[in-house]
Amino acid sequence: MNVKLKRVRYYTTSTQDYDIKWTMPQCVLTLRLIGLAFNLWDGNKHDKELSDSQKQVALKERPSLLEIAAYAYFPGAFLIGPQFSMRRYLDYVNGRLTERDPITGAVKLPDCVSAGLLRAFVGFIYVAIFQIGTLYVSDQYFFEPSFQKLNLIKKCLLIGLWGRINLYKYVSVWLITEGVCITFGLTHNGKDSEGRVKWDGCANVKLRTFETCTQFNHYILSFNINTNHWCAEYIYKRLRFLGSKIYSQLMTLLFLALWHGFHSGYYQCFFMEFLIMYFERDVNRTGVTEQRESANAAEDSMGSTHTLLDLSEALHFRFHGILPPVVRTSLVFTV
């Protein structure tokens, strides 16, 4: 029902521009309630029917209406995420994510404020980069005569730079909201090997991987992590009855496009993601592997070819695959 209502509201309120309004938190709410419904459904099954990940979030008891409302509209995450399970929220409010004194059993207040403020501060740095970057490469710049006069290479580089800067818009708000969730204590994720508390339980971006990625798959692993994980758990893995990974991936990406709205760019974007992922997999499996194996026998003659191939991959994935498809394909095949 919530999905149908959201689609109707998309149709009645969407414009030709990038809309930032109440439909955005409606997107977040839709995924949250779908996940809640699946968790309740899994709670009625036998444990042997569930995967390990499903066992961790399945709900054996139905939460109250007040708990559902508090979970759906958690102040640190109801506008733009991140997504997290009802199980995590219940563990949070019931004090299971906090440490206790081994002698008295009293709850120890977590040292989460400094970690949350630091994460939010990094988010504000990305806000500044985005604001400054859009002053030089704005959306309207591509419609100006000065851009049309540039050669193809400069156009592709500017489009890639524009796409990268626009990604920082999402990175910044996710970091800020993650900082809020850390300050609440919701993101507690145990301790690392050195005994330090980890606050990455609701992390939506891995900055080091995101900024140093060399493959498109690295973007999927480091950008909008919680939504990707949500789709994997609640859509992709539950389509096993189709008997095909390709069909499952296509249906998952179609769901994401429908979830985003009616604009054709969403459907083109996710279809290109599907093609790029399979293209990348085949290149890594065949071309790159074979060339680098043969390089052991002819390193001198093949060295320049590997350098060019790595350069083309770096250019492609550094710009998040925003180069036109023909240019992306020619960059790889002409090497």
Question: What is the per-residue pLDDT across 231-255, written as a single tens digit (0 to 9) for each?
Answer: 999 999 999 898 888 899 999 989 8
Residue ranges in the chain whose pLDDT is less than 70: 1-22, 101, 105-107, 109, 287-335
Half-sphere exposure in the Cβ direction for 21 (13 Å, CA): 10
Selected catalytic residue, list 260, 263, 306, 320 = 260
Torsions phi, psi of 192, nearest 5?
-85, -175
- Alpha-carbon distance 153 to 150, whole Å? 8
Residue type for 166, please? N
Task: Quote the pTM value.
Answer: 0.78
- Alpha-carbon distance 32 to 82, whole Å? 10
Do residues 323 and 160 touch, judged by C-beta distance below 8 A? yes
128 to 134, 137, 171, 173, 211: CA distances (angstroms): 10, 14, 12, 12, 17
Q: How many CB atoms lie within 10 A of CB 263?
A: 17
Selected catalytic residue, list 39, 224, 226, 228 = 224
**53: its two tokens:** 């990940």
- Assign 229 to helix, strand or coil: helix
Q: Annotated catalytic, 260?
A: yes
- Assign 89 to helix, strand or coil: helix
Residue type for 197, please? V
**29: its two tokens:** 């709410």
Do residues 78 and 28 touch, judged by C-beta distance below 8 A? yes
Give me the residues paired with residue 197 across strands: 191
